[in-house]
Amino acid sequence: MVKEKPWLAHYDPSVPHEVEVPSIPLWRFLEDSARRFPNQVALEFLGKTLTYQELWDKSRRFAQGLRELGVKPGDRVAVMLPNTPQFVIAFYGALLAGGVGVNVNPLYTPRELRHQLQDAGAETLVILDHLLPRFLEVERETPVKRVVVTGIKDFLPFPKNLLYPLKARKDRLPLGFPRREGFHAFLDLLKRPPATPHASDPEDLALLQYTGGTTGISKGAMLTHKNLVANVLQIDAWDSTSRDLLGKGVMLGALPFFHVYGMTVAMNYGLYSGYKIVLLPRPEIHAVVEAIEKHGVTHFPGVPTLYVAFNNFPGIEKRNVKSIRICLSGAAPLPVEVAKRFEEITGARLLEGYGLSEASPVTHSNPVLGPVKKGSIGMPLPSVEAKVVDEEGKEVPLGEVGELIVKGPNVMKGYWNRPEETQKALKDGWLFTGDLARMDEDGYFYIVDRKKDMIIAGGYNIYPREVEEVLYGHEAVQEAAVVGVPDPYRGETVAAFIVLKEAYRGKVTEKDIEAFCRANLAAYKVPRIIQFREGLPKSSVGKILRRELRDEFAKKA
């Protein structure tokens, strides 16, 4: 019999078992910080700054602009922008007008963009001028009636705002927008008077976050104001050590805000805490290191690939990166060796956590003060329940592998216009994550792998994460991804795709890697196929895409 909520006994002393979620809309966090820290810098963008009072004012002006264009409460407002002041203003402006934000990945192709705009029924699109040609290609096949266009230069300081268009033209990046009905300049909306905020009900939708979800079809997770407010407060309750940084901390905004991880942990939590958020339109590693040094970054939420790049940045040991206090790693498994190396360099605490779009997203984390169990995603956050269940939904014995399910105030309402998909993912308030996990006697959880990523070779279950952990233990390996590929004899076999560190390229062979694996893995888990690569395919948030590697291998085969 599994003891109920064993993790509570291992919480840090100052962490409550539950969080009280107030009946407020998400935008109240920004309003409160503008009142408490009016002159504190809220956003820093390539030398341009906005204080909390300025950000609150511009967000309300944008809300009024949207209203005058015809946006009504409940209308979906799609935002297709990188991490810029415009993203924050547009998202909070949409909420203040009573709208529902729809995060759109700036890397989307016209086909993907068309699908999302159609599915969300978005009649309003806020977009960067560089990305506009992709929308114009499918404009007539979408429900969009009004397009608000901005450019990077709109929030650059002098003289960068004058020089940027010259650089953009040199790089052949599109600028401006069609001067016809339905198209509006972002800056024009900011000339409106500040709106009176729409008093949204906590159960109203705040965000449609599109995700492959637990079944692979792109669909909108319906996240309410309450969901997003709850997750910020859960994260805040988990980290009591940052209380002395209220109104003084510095958050690195390298994770894209259009991804719910970046939106909740970097943007919403940062604004709630009154931090200065340093915006990086692209999470390029040289820009990350420079931002940490220049601004004294205290909070660096990221993904494993970003920490790998940080660890391998030339001369990183000599850079001034000791200001970092705490980092939460999510979106993909954090290899033990990567965490160990990062902590040696920075002296910071790097905590592996876990979440998914459907849970706003964070559900688990290792403790801030207590023991960090390497390889574990930690314990459920306050007010989150978690279980490991079998195919019938029954809890499995302690230590056994099953599907992780979670419940809490941060769990979505369901999938937008997809009742059947909602029924599969949500049962009696429990969210079925599709991830295989186990729990130890202290209530720490371990993600074994995605259900769909598990490799079955010769009747054996092989979890890619375990093989990847071993590969990351090799001194020459910078990045690694393991997938199952078809095999006529074993059904599937293990294939490893590896990026070597610069110093080892041409010196370490596939045989060397195989020998290392044989010394550390059972024979049936050893990769039969080993390929060295210049890089690995990644999502916009830096997650390695195993599916693309599988598909690419299948095509070549």
So what's the pLDDT on residue 214?
44
Does residue 213 have a pLDDT over 70?
no
pLDDT, tens digit, 9 for 90 and up, residues 342-358: 999 999 999 999 999 99
pLDDT in tens, 491-542: 789 999 999 999 999 999 999 999 999 888 888 889 999 999 999 998 877 8
Q: Specify the higher pLDDT residue, 25 or 466.
A: 25
Q: Flag whether pLDDT at 215 surpasses 70.
A: no
Cis check for the bond before 301: say yes or no (omega within 30 of 0): no
Q: How far apart are alpha carbons 535 and 151 in whole angstroms?
A: 31
Residue 216 DSSP one-character state: S
| Residues recorded for the chain | 557
Taken in order of first residue, the domains within the chain and their CATH numbers are 6-20+215-450 (3.40.50.12780), 52-201 (3.40.50.980), 454-556 (3.30.300.30)
Q: What is the mean pLDDT of residues 261-281?
A: 97
pLDDT digit string (tens) for 107-127? 888 888 998 999 999 999 999
Query: What is the three-class DSSP state of 555?
Result: helix
Supply the pLDDT for residue 217: 58
pLDDT higher than 90, residue 248: yes
Residues 6+ apart with CB under 8 A from 491: 456, 457, 458, 459
pLDDT of residue 212: 60
When pLDDT is cut at 50, 70 and 90, the band that residue 458 belongs to is low
Residue 80 has pLDDT above 80, yes or no: yes
The per-residue b/e assignment along 338-354, b for 16 or more CB within 10 angstroms, e otherwise, is bbebbeebbebbbbbbb
Q: What sign results for the dihedral spanned by CA atoms 521, 376, 413, 547?
A: negative
For residue 335, what pLDDT band results from cuts at 50, 70 and 90? confident
Instruction: Say which residue the tokens 């979670």 belong to.
Output: 406
Residue type at 510 in one-letter notation: E
Average pLDDT, the chain: 92
Digit-coded pLDDT (tens) for 14-30: 999 999 999 999 999 99
Given CA atoms 108, 113, 117, 118 in this order, what sign does their dihedral have? negative
Q: How far apart are CA 315 and CA 300, in angstroms?
A: 19
State the pLDDT at residue 451: 66
Q: Where are the beta strands (DSSP E) in 192-246?
A: 205-211, 219-224
* CB < 8 Å & 24+ apart, contacts of 179-182: 182/145, 182/146, 182/147
Which residues on neighbouring strands pair with residue 76, listed in sequence order?
100
Tens digits of residue pLDDT in 381-398: 999 999 999 989 999 999
Q: Which of the four pLDDT bands, split at 50, 70 and 90, describes residue 2?
A: low
Amino acid at 78: A
Residues 128-139, mean pLDDT to the nearest whole number? 95
In this structure, what is the dihedral angle of CA atoms 361, 364, 370, 371, given to the nearest 10 degrees?
A: -120
Cα 151 to the center of its chain, rounded Å: 24
